[in-house]
């Protein structure tokens, strides 16, 4: 089988498409014939060795996949079942989805929703699944449509694009922050009502600023997240899920203790199964498939290596869907 294999020997990193024997697959009670995977921001970091994502070598890359069960010793799955996986350390400590086959624990798998193809499942992927977890977090924290605008940062990225589409579909007025103002028409097609330049958020700002947002979905981190919190309305909420600008959070407690703003961390890797199932159920019914289609670029396994630096540089719009058999 073909796979993107990451290796490190004597501090020399290598990422390549390699032939890997099925006997080398890791332990697990379900073997999946993978049809599609993706290149998420975390994947790009792993593929370029820009961040210590991989913690076990050698590693088959890919934090998610969708495909068909080939063999199973798990009571929930049988050959022919269409399944998907997000997280659980796959692509980090356990061989991942940028491969033609994967062997994993059955407890990690989710059934592909009825009426959704495996390609659509990976067009959504971990980015879209994370976006839905962020939306669900804002809802739990009382961010309703009548409270005011919701800001989405990194809006042309994977999480950002699907967050814009989801929130707009649910009736929120969405403001999209992006460094690509040339993508205004794209963001408006997803449902954004206003586009702002990311430069207005990416520099150091005052601890408290004019109240603008009822809620925020942030995949950027650093000063962008700090400013988003500083601009969030009293009793508003911010869902944070990424670090495209940086891992730092140079903030004060002012928005939290003077306005009652809630900063909610969203971790898609080990989210409880019930929350995963709810997220995918809602993605199947509440995400406009037409809008999803406009976010997709289809690539093959080898292309994933070439596209990874562009993902990190913010040059990719929407989602990269990897046909692992291409």
Where in the chain are the domains?
2-112+295-323, 125-265
Q: How many CB atoms lie within 10 A of CB 140?
A: 12
Mean pLDDT of 139-159: 97
Phi-psi region of 28 (alpha: psi -120 to 50; beta: other; left: phi over 0): left
**11 pLDDT higher than 90:** no
Q: What share of the chain in percent tops pLDDT 70?
A: 100
* pLDDT category of residue 246 using cuts at 50, 70 and 90: very high
Give the burial class of 96: count Cβ atoms within 10 A of its Cβ; 0-12 exposed, 13-18 middle, 19 or more buried: buried
Model pTM? Answer: 0.95
Mean pLDDT of 117-124: 97
Predicted confidence at residue 299, as pLDDT, reads 97
* pLDDT category of residue 28 using cuts at 50, 70 and 90: very high
User: Which two structure tokens, joined as six digits, stand for 224?
Assistant: 């962008």
Report, in angstroms and rounded to the nearest whole number, the Rg of the chain calculated over CA atoms: 19
* pLDDT category of residue 289 using cuts at 50, 70 and 90: confident
**282 pLDDT higher than 90:** yes
**216 pLDDT higher than 90:** yes
Per CATH, the architecture of 2-112+295-323 is what? Answer: Alpha-Beta Complex (3.90)
Which residue, chain included where needed, has tokens 């990976």?
122
Mean pLDDT of 162-190: 96
Mean pLDDT of 69-78: 98
**10 pLDDT higher than 90:** no
Residues 146-175, buried b or exposed e (16+ Cβ, 10 A)?
ebbbbbbbbbbbbbbbbbbbbbbbbebbbb
Q: Which tens digits make up the pLDDT trace of 178-197?
A: 999 999 999 999 999 999 99
Cis peptide before 58 (omega within 30 of 0): yes
Which residue, chain included where needed, has tokens 């203790």?
257
Same topology, domains 2-112+295-323 and 125-265? Answer is: no
Residue 250 — φ and ψ, nearest 5°? Answer: -80, 70
Yes or no: domain 125-265 corresponds to CATH 3.20.20.70: no
Q: How many CB atoms lie within 10 A of CB 104?
A: 26
**64 pLDDT higher than 90:** yes
Give the span between the Cα atoms of 323 and 240, in whole angstroms. 30
Could you give the 3-state DSSP secondary structure of residue 207? Answer: coil
Give the span between the Cα atoms of 271 and 305, in whole angstroms. 28
Mean pLDDT of 69-90: 98
Give the span between the Cα atoms of 190 and 93, in whole angstroms. 35
Specify the DSSP element, H or E, that contains 46.
helix 41-48
Q: How many CB atoms lie within 10 A of CB 184?
A: 14
User: Which two structure tokens, joined as six digits, stand for 254?
Assistant: 């002012």
Q: Which tens digits make up the pLDDT trace of 30-58?
A: 999 999 999 999 999 999 999 999 999 99
**241 pLDDT higher than 90:** yes
Mean pLDDT of 233-244: 97
Give the span between the Cα atoms of 56 and 192, in whole angstroms. 41
User: Which two structure tokens, joined as six digits, stand for 111?
Assistant: 């059934």
């Amino acid at each position: 089988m073909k796979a993107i294999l990451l290796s490190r020997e004597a501090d020399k990193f290598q990422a390549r498409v390699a032939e890997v024997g099925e006997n080398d697959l890791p332990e697990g009670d379900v073997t999946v014939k993978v049809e599609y995977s993706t290149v998420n921001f975390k994947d790009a970091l792993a593929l370029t060795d820009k961040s210590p994502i991989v913690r076990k070598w050698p590693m088959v890359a890919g934090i998610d996949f969708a495909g068909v069960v080939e063999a199973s010793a798990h009571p929930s799955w049988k050959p022919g079942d269409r399944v998907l996986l997000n997280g659980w350390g796959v692509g980090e400590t356990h061989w991942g989805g940028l491969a033609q086959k994967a062997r994993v624990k059955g407890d990690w798998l989710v059934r592909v929703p009825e009426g959704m193809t495996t390609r659509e499942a990976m067009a959504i992927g971990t980015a879209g699944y994370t976006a839905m977890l962020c939306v669900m977090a804002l809802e739990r924290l009382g961010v309703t449509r009548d409270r005011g605008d919701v800001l989405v940062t990194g809006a042309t990225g994977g999480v950002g694009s699907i967050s814009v589409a989801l929130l707009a579909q649910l009736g929120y007025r969405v403001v999209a922050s992006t460094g690509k103002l040339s993508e205004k028409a794209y963001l408006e097609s997803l449902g954004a009502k206003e586009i702002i330049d990311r430069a207005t958020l990416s520099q150091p700002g005052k601890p408290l600023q004019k109240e603008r947002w009822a809620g925020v979905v942030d995949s950027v981190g650093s000063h962008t997240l700090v400013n988003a919190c500083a601009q969030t309305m009293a009793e508003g909420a911010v869902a944070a899920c990424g670090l495209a600008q940086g891992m730092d959070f140079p903030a004060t407690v002012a928005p939290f203790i003077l306005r009652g703003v809630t900063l909610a961390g969203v971790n898609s890797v080990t989210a409880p199964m019930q929350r995963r199932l709810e997220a995918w159920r809602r993605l199947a019914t509440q995400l406009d498939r037409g809008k999803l289609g406009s976010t997709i670029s289809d690539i093959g396994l080898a292309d994933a290596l070439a596209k990874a630096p562009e993902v990190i540089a913010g040059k990719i719009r929407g989602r990269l869907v990897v046909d692992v058999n291409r």
